[in-house]
Amino acid sequence: MARKKIIAGNWKMNMTPSQAVELINTLKPLVGNDEVDVVFCVPAIDIIPAVEAVKGTNIHIGAENMYFEEKGAFTGEISPAMLDDAGVKYVIIGHSERREYFAETNETVNRKVLKAFEHDITPIICCGESLTQREQGVTIDFIRQQIKVAFLNVTADQAKKAVIAYEPIWAIGTGKVATTEQAQEVCKAIRDCITEIYDAATGEAIRIQYGGSVSASSAPELFAQPDIDGGLVGGASLKADFGQIVCYNK
């Protein structure tokens, strides 16, 4: 069965609650595409007004992060039950900015992935190499390790529903998009790794996005690759361009 594309916006630390509603109202008429799952991953404080604002549309609301405990003395954190109750369907886990600035590791990513599944929230699991790693020729080894740890104790049925975002760190927010060949090569290696861990059916089912300076002009070629099932989009998700990215096939 063909995999449905999934195109998600990562708003990062942008948009106040009222700005979020305004942006959603601007983007709503631009992101209608039945062939694509459309997700807006928004700051935690925007989630409740965003869920309200997308009612009756094809847009799903996602979170940008989540903690791996159920509840308790974890000041400032947001639990999976809170996200679930608010109507969140997806959560970005292990974005490179969280790994770099908030000390997230492959192990915390794994704990969060397991928790998200417990609450029926689909994790969008980020992986990606630095420029040094690419230049040293260790990209695939590094990403395989990220994937293997992220999926520890995740069942095949869960893995089939997961989303992986391959985001080369050197391409995030830099305007430097990976070439189509580079993106396809790594997304295929990720699918092969999932097939090795589980089986061919799981490898075939899992959706793998490319992320890193995706724009309206680069999206059509990237998303036409056999192992790229859509994109995780930062900067361009805050503009009308996101409509063109979602409608890349029209």
Place of tokens 């790693």: 133
Ranges of H-type helices in 44-130: 47-53, 80-86, 96-101, 106-118
97 labelled catalytic = no
Q: Tell me the residue number closest to ligand PEP, measured at CB.
A: 234
* CA–CA dist 65, 78 (Å, integer): 8
Least distance to ligand PEP, CB of residue 158, Å: 23
Least distance to ligand PEP, CB of residue 177, Å: 8
Contact between residue 226 and residue 18 where contact means Cβ atoms under 8 Å apart? no
Token reading at 113: 């992935």
* CA–CA dist 62, 43 (Å, integer): 9
Give the three-class secondary structure for 14: coil
Q: Which residue, 10 or 133, is less far from ligand PEP as judged by CB?
A: 10
Least distance to ligand PEP, CB of residue 75, Å: 26
List the helix and strand counts (H, then E) for the chain: 12, 8
Return residues touching ligand PEP (CB under 6 A). Answer: 10, 12, 167, 172-173, 211-214, 232-236
Which residues, other chains included, contact 110 with Cβ-Cβ below 8 Å and sequence gap of 6+? Answer: 149, 150, 151, 152, 153
Q: Which residue, 167 or 227, is less far from ligand PEP as judged by CB?
A: 167
* CA–CA dist 163, 133 (Å, integer): 23
Catalytically annotated residue among 97, 104, 129, 167? 167
Least distance to ligand PEP, CB of residue 210, Å: 9
Catalytically annotated residue among 60, 95, 97, 104? 95
Q: Which residue, 88 or 202, is less far from ligand PEP as judged by CB?
A: 88
Q: Which residue, 211 or 243, is less far from ligand PEP as judged by CB?
A: 211
Least distance to ligand PEP, CB of residue 128, Å: 9
119 labelled catalytic = no
Q: Which residue, 113 or 236, is less far from ligand PEP as judged by CB?
A: 236
Which of the residues are catalytic?
Answer: 95, 167
